[in-house]
Amino acid sequence: MTQNGRAIFYLILGIAVFSVQDLILKLLSGDYPLHQAMVARSLTAVPFMLMLVYYFDGTLRTLISPAWPLMLLRGFMNFLAYTAYYMGLAALPMATTVALFFTAPLFITILSVLILRETVALPRWLAVFVGFIGVVLMMQPEAGSFNAVALLPIFCGLSYAGLMIMARVMGNRASGAAMAFWGNIAFLLCALALSLLFGWNDSAPNASPSIAFLLRGWVWPTGYDLFLMCACGAIAAFGLTLLTLAYTVGQSSVVAPFEFTFAFWGLLWGWLVWRELPNALGWVGIALIVGAGIYVLRTKEKAAP
């Protein structure tokens, strides 16, 4: 197998692994608060993340580089982004949530012009426009009212785009494994802070699924549910290792478009577990968003020196 072939295999497997974390959190979202699951997940992930840093960097000293405060700040921003994503996941079908998140490459294109002063050719602008048409179709209300919850994964896509731009600005000052470690520490600190605020009391017993997932008080978990929460930590570390290997071994221009296989897993888990499938407009919206995102990623990489 070629290097790019192995890289594609690592990426597809890593995406499949990460999809299991989303499945678990959606299953838990009706009974437990997000911050409780994140505390268990982040604590479990710490030793795995340390091994990840040592494996890829050959030392743990990269964790205390001068860039660590910036890495921690990036982790806080990442927590905010994925909190919005998981709140959306609690209320929306998995396929819809995943597809709306994949507006990220479209936002990256826009931010690369506004912040990095990059030049974007007209075909890529047209792809961005087509992708946002897909977003409008995905948000098509079924009962004539605007579904505001759909803005949550879109906000995550926008935030993720900002994080990618931030990673470019940071350049070689921090390794990917070190950024992942400090990101996990930020997740843990934020989850603990939310737990101190809301964990002692049921703050939203009759709220919408999204708000309840954020504000619900801690619940004593069953052994199986606690195992699922902790498993998310191992899943995150294993998945991140595979994604890091993919981009280390292969060319990003070849590998990156396969991140959209995540849409397949969103559709599959949604159908297998909840019997959810998009309507006709939803299918068209998914196709437009995914197609536009793949085009943007491919042309962007081809245009890079």
Gap between the Cα atoms of 246 and 6, Å rounded: 7
Q: Are 40 and 228 spatial neighbours (Cβ–Cβ below 8 Å)?
A: no
Question: Which residue, chain included where needed, has tokens 């809301």?
Answer: 198
**Choice among 27-41, 148-162, 169-183 with the minimum mean pLDDT:** 169-183
Confidence at residue 204, expressed as pLDDT on a 0 to 100 scale = 56
What is the pTM (predicted TM-score) of this model? 0.87
In 3D, which of 178, 240, 167 has the Cα closest to residue 11? 240
Is it the case that residue 18 has pLDDT exceeding 80?
Answer: yes
Amino acid at 67: A
Phi, psi of 302 (to 5 degrees): -65, -30
Q: What are the tens digits of pLDDT across the range 107-141? A: 988 988 888 888 888 888 999 999 999 988 887 65
Residue 305, pLDDT > 60, answer: no
- Read off the pLDDT of residues 169-183 as tens digits, 9 standing for 90 and up: 765 667 778 888 888
Q: Do residues 170 and 188 lie in contact, with contact meaning Cβ atoms separated by under 8 Å?
A: no
DSSP letters for 192-243: HHHHHHHTTS-S-TTS-HHHHHHHPPP-PPPHHHHHHHHHHHHHHHHHHHHH
Q: Which of 74-78, 202-206, 291-295 has the lowest mean pLDDT?
A: 202-206
Answer yes or no: are the C-beta atoms of 96 and 261 closer than 8 Å.
no
| Residue 197: how many other CB atoms lie within 10 Å | 12
Mean pLDDT, the chain, whole residue set: 86
**Domain boundaries, given as residue ranges, for the chain:** 3-303
pLDDT tens profile 44-54: 999 999 998 89
Distance CA 136, CA 125 (A): 17
- Crossing angle of helices 3-28 and 34-57, rounded to 10°: 160
CA 225, 226, 227: angle at the middle one, nearest 5? Answer: 90
Residue holding tokens 């981009």?
Answer: 247
Per-residue pLDDT tens over the stretch 206-230: 668 898 898 888 999 999 999 999 9
Indicate whether 302 pLDDT > 50: no
Cβ neighbours for 240, distance < 8 A, ≥ 6 positions apart? 14, 52, 180
Please provide the DSSP assignment of 233-264 as one string.
HHHHHHHHHHHHHHHHHS-HHHHGGGGGGHHH
